[in-house]
Structure 1
Amino acid sequence: MKYKPLGNPFYQQPTLKLAQSLLGKLLVNETVEGVTSGWIVETEAYIGPDDRAAHSFGNRRTPRTEIMFGPAGMTYTYVMHTHCLVNVVSGEVDHPEAVLIRALEPHDGVDLMYKRRDKITKQRDLTNGPGKLTKALGITNNDYGHPLTEPPLYIAEGKPPLQISSGPRIGIENSGEARDYPWRYWVTDSIYVSR
């Protein structure tokens, strides 16, 4: 294990606070191919049952959303179009909330990230989107339900951001008033933010 994973108490914060606290932390994946990691520079919070943009809106409980009803600090992965996206389960048990990790600043294993992302030539394009970062770090749907407090996929201490910006979430146009909630957070001035 290359770094020390953050413990359970870190994940016991309210979801909007957790989404901001994750900024600057290090997302690490240790695979047989090697270790890749990146500092989290962009997140989006989804506040479960009352949030039209959340998969668990109205307490929708399906095989896909089941993990969100469990304890905070678990991995919620799902496939959207052809991309796997990774979320941190938050909120209390039976309050299905989550934080989407939208973008990273690459740290460990950059060469391996280039190999996994094939035709990418600029480092800033390796992990500047939720589907890009999972490919670069080798995160798949098989990571669903994994506790982020232990390897191989975990979150470690990082470097606190100097300034945090917030605004509406991205790609949720059909979610009524929820599309305007300022629940996307990013490290101000980071060149690795998705857009």
Structure 2
Amino acid sequence: MSLTAPRLLAREELPHDTAALARHLIGKLVVRDLPEGRVSGRIVETEAYVVGDAAGHGFRGMTARNRSMFLERGHAYVYLAYGISFMLNVSSEAPGIGTGVLIRALEPLEGIPIMRLNRGVERLRDLTRGPGRLAAALRIDRSLDGLDLCQRGPLWLADDGHYAGEIGQSTRIGISKDAERLLRFHVRKNPFVSGPGSLNR
């Protein structure tokens, strides 16, 4: 149960280390303010893409596509994966360092009817379980790339004092480079976590 009303997550609260930030964000909120109302979800799964990570978009340096990944920690890096699904990432270290945390799954909280319309599905568990699904449910696209998530606006991070529960750690999903690294974090036994059950213990 939440202890307090959601408050803006301050940049000073965010760890400077990417893996530490990925763990820190578990239990926090992603808030999306839309013209028809607010939608939000609790972060239950993340993946870290750290310094020197061959699987990270910043590995080969800054480009027009990934430049938001090189912003100070706490900014949105949104990209289109395989020409199909948008992915929401949080830049994670000092300016000029291309690292980030992928938000992989949310537990839906506010605006569930809006999410259902955005996704075109009814089943609660399917609304935001997976990075492409959550971006669609919250209507996140490239127009939000580079946004400061530590300021109130159309998309921001929040904390409501919720205890996340037991956090598991595993290899990341759907990558081939540096695939053995334990850089995925999730709330154990949470039904809204994505991926195979073997990784969610």
* TM-score normalized by the length of structure 1: 0.93
* Displacement of 1:121: 2.7
CA distance in 1, matches of 2:163, 2:155: 21
The equivalent of 2:199 in structure 1 is: none
Q: Is the 8 A contact 1:37 1:109 kept in 2?
A: yes
The structure 1 residue matched to 2:50, chosen from 40, 47, 52, is: 47
The equivalent of 1:191 in structure 2 is: 191
CA distance in 1, matches of 2:142, 2:95: 22
Q: Indicate whether 1:142 and 2:131 are aligned.
A: no
* Displacement of 1:3: 4.1
The structure 1 residue matched to 2:31, chosen from 20, 28, 31, is: 28
CA RMSD of aligned residues (A): 1.2
Question: Alignment partner of 1:166: what SS?
Answer: strand
Report the number of matched residues: 188
Question: Alignment partner of 2:7: what SS?
Answer: coil
- Give, as a single letter, the amino acid of the residue that structure 1 aligns with 2:111: G
Q: Is the 8 A contact 2:103 2:131 kept in 1?
A: yes
Q: Is the 8 A contact 1:25 1:160 kept in 2?
A: no
CA deviation vs aligned residue, 1:16-53 (integer Å, no higher than 9, x gap): 111011000010000112100000000000014x1010
CA distance in 2, matches of 1:154, 1:66: 19
* Displacement of 1:188: 0.6
CA distance in 2, matches of 1:36, 1:87: 18
Q: Is the 8 A contact 2:16 2:94 kept in 1?
A: no
What runs of 5+ residues in structure 1 fail to find an aligned partner? none
The equivalent of 1:67 in structure 2 is: 68
What runs of 5+ residues in structure 2 fail to find an aligned partner? 196-201
Identify the structure with the greater helix proportion.
Answer: 1
- Give, as a single letter, the amino acid of the residue that structure 2 aligns with 1:186: H
Tell me the percent identity.
37
Question: Alignment partner of 2:113: what SS?
Answer: helix
Pairing 1:1-195 to 2, within 5 Å after superposition? 3-48=6-51, 50-58=52-60, 60-81=61-82, 82-118=84-120, 120-150=121-151, 151-158=153-160, 159-173=162-176, 175=177, 178-195=178-195
Question: Alignment partner of 1:37: what SS?
Answer: strand
CA distance in 1, matches of 2:108, 2:79: 22
CA distance in 1, matches of 2:7, 2:21: 19
Q: Is the 8 A contact 1:77 1:87 kept in 2?
A: yes
* TM-score normalized by the length of structure 2: 0.90
- Give, as a single letter, the amino acid of the residue that structure 1 aligns with 2:93: G
* Displacement of 1:12: 4.0
